[in-house]
């Protein structure tokens, strides 16, 4: 069920404060989304716009540690 909220406008100052909490690890995107009743997409847009460390051109590389045994390739038919 979709909740119909009146259109709300968050100040730049509040968005910067929220982004600061996200960058410092004090909150997650999901927590902020629920607390302020905004979509996760909106929170990610705030991050992209106001973050000092995360920009749209920033790439985050996640690597797994090498396992002791090689994995078998997945074959799909």
Q: Is the pLDDT of residue 3 over 80?
A: no
**pLDDT at res. 59:** 59
Number of domains in the chain: 1
Residues, the chain: 77
**pLDDT at res. 34:** 94
CB-based burial, 39-75: b 16+ in 10 Å, e otherwise: eeeebeebbeebbeeeeeeeeeeeeeeeeeeeeeeee
Give a yes or no: residue 6 inside a domain: no
Q: Which domain covers residue 43, as residue numbers? A: 12-50
Which two three-digit tokens encode residue 5?
């909220």
Give a yes or no: residue 32 inside a domain: yes
Per residue in 12-53, pLDDT (tens digit) is: 999 999 999 888 888 889 999 999 999 999 999 999 999 888
Contacts of 3 (CB under 8 A, 6+ apart): 37
Give a yes or no: residue 26 inside a domain: yes
């Amino acid at each position: 069920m979709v909740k119909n909220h009146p259109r709300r406008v968050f100040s730049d100052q509040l968005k910067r404060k929220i982004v600061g909490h996200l960058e410092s690890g004090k909150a997650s995107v999901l927590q902020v989304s629920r607390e302020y009743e905004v979509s996760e997409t909106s929170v990610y847009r705030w991050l992209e716009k106001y973050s000092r460390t995360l920009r749209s051109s920033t790439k985050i590389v996640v690597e797994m540690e090498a396992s002791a045994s090689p994995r078998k390739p997945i074959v799909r038919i």
